[in-house]
Amino acid sequence: MGRTTTGAEPDVAPSSVTESLRGLATLAGPLPEFDVDRAPDAPGPLFGEWFVRAVREEVREPHAMVLSTVDAHGRPDARVLTLREVDPDAGTWTFGTSIASPKGRQLDAVPWAALTFYWPEQGRQIRVRGPVVRAKAARNAQDFLRRGPAGRVMSLVGRQSEPMPDPTEWEEDRRRAELQLERHPGVVAADWALYTLTADRVEFWQGDDRQRHRRLEYRRDRAGARWTRVPLRP
């Protein structure tokens, strides 16, 4: 007799997951070199150099980053989103979201954040930390209109991260938003906003398959005018 299957996924024991983790390779080479002593005086140019190389070498989604925030009670949160703008000279990184989303509310309560870029193909990680400021309405509108149609529709639907007990309700909201965008291409979601992080710490991490990682942290002074380069132990 043939075996009957239910289509359900097989049970996975926690021990087998742990064994799989122990057997996974990390930092498989060849990896780029990173001469800390020859790094520029500020982090912006080095970020640009690393980012351009990541694009040239076809690192997958190099503009994707983890945005880490905390709420008013100090509880941490994190999610992946895309970098919208960067100003190497000013040392600023900009991203967008709904002001009504969990991350938007968290940034209003505690306007500090951390960004983490990780490019496994190159064994590279960049960590950016600093205060965050929301952009003015005119700039938010300009950025919204530069987004693709799908992204604009989703923002017009709104209510991001709210419970969805009835998927048909969401589908109806999405169709209404699509129709709204078709009829009014210049419509802007009222809750869309850009947030700019002005870095006070930026760390560049170059992995090494022998665990001799190279790390360089940039620290901005209190006046915000100068950077200090600080090599870190692996």
CATH of the domain at 221: 2.30.110.10
Q: What predicted TM-score, i.e. pTM, was given to this entire model?
A: 0.87
Query: Residue 185 pLDDT more than 70?
Result: yes
Q: Is residue 109 part of a domain?
A: yes
The reply to whether 233 sits in an annotated binding site is: no
What local confidence, expressed as pLDDT, does residue 2 receive?
Answer: 46
Query: Residue 36 pLDDT more than 50?
Result: yes
Beta-carbon contacts of residue 133 (< 8 Å; ≥ 6 apart) = 111, 195, 196, 198
What local confidence, expressed as pLDDT, does residue 194 receive?
Answer: 97
Query: Residue 1 pLDDT more than 60?
Result: no
How far is 74 from 22, CA to CA, in rounded Å?
33
Q: Is residue 128 part of a domain?
A: yes
The reply to whether 53 sits in an annotated binding site is: no
Beta-carbon contacts of residue 146 (< 8 Å; ≥ 6 apart) = none
What local confidence, expressed as pLDDT, does residue 5 receive?
Answer: 47
Query: Residue 9 pLDDT more than 70?
Result: no
Query: Angle, to 10 degrees, between the axis of helix 167-183 and the axis of helix 149-157?
Result: 120
The reply to whether 98 sits in an annotated binding site is: no
The pairing of strands 124-134 and 214-220 is: unpaired
Contact 181, 187 (CB under 8 A): yes
At 184, the amino acid letter reads H
How far is 110 from 74, CA to CA, in rounded Å?
9
- Mean pLDDT in residue range 138-150: 91
What Å distances lie between residue 137 and 115, 190, 194, 200, CA to CA? 24, 9, 9, 26
Q: Is residue 100 part of a domain?
A: yes
Phi-psi region of 58 (alpha: psi -120 to 50; beta: other; left: phi over 0): left
The reply to whether 215 sits in an annotated binding site is: yes
Residue 81 class from Cβ within 10 Å (0-12 exposed, 13-18 middle, 19+ buried)? middle
The reply to whether 192 sits in an annotated binding site is: no
Contact 35, 204 (CB under 8 A): no
Give Cα 47 to chain centroid, integer Å: 14
What local confidence, expressed as pLDDT, does residue 162 receive?
Answer: 77
% of the chain with per-residue pLDDT over 70: 94
At 7, the amino acid letter reads G
Cβ neighbours of 49 (radius 10 Å): 14
Q: Is residue 39 part of a domain?
A: yes
Query: Residue 8 pLDDT more than 60?
Result: no
What local confidence, expressed as pLDDT, does residue 60 receive?
Answer: 96
The reply to whether 206 sits in an annotated binding site is: no
- 172 vs 74, higher pLDDT: 74
- 167 vs 125, higher pLDDT: 125
Query: Residue 92 pLDDT more than 70?
Result: yes
Q: Is residue 137 part of a domain?
A: yes
Domain count for the chain: 1
Domain span holding position 139: 27-143+192-232
- 184 vs 10, higher pLDDT: 184
At 192-218, the pLDDT tens digits run: 999 999 999 999 999 998 899 999 999
How far is 192 from 146, CA to CA, in rounded Å?
12
What Å distances lie between residue 127 and 5, 8, 93, 151, 188, CA to CA? 46, 40, 11, 26, 32
Query: Residue 49 pLDDT more than 80?
Result: yes
What Å distances lie between residue 126 and 114, 120, 157, 205, CA to CA? 10, 12, 33, 6
% of the chain with per-residue pLDDT over 90: 64
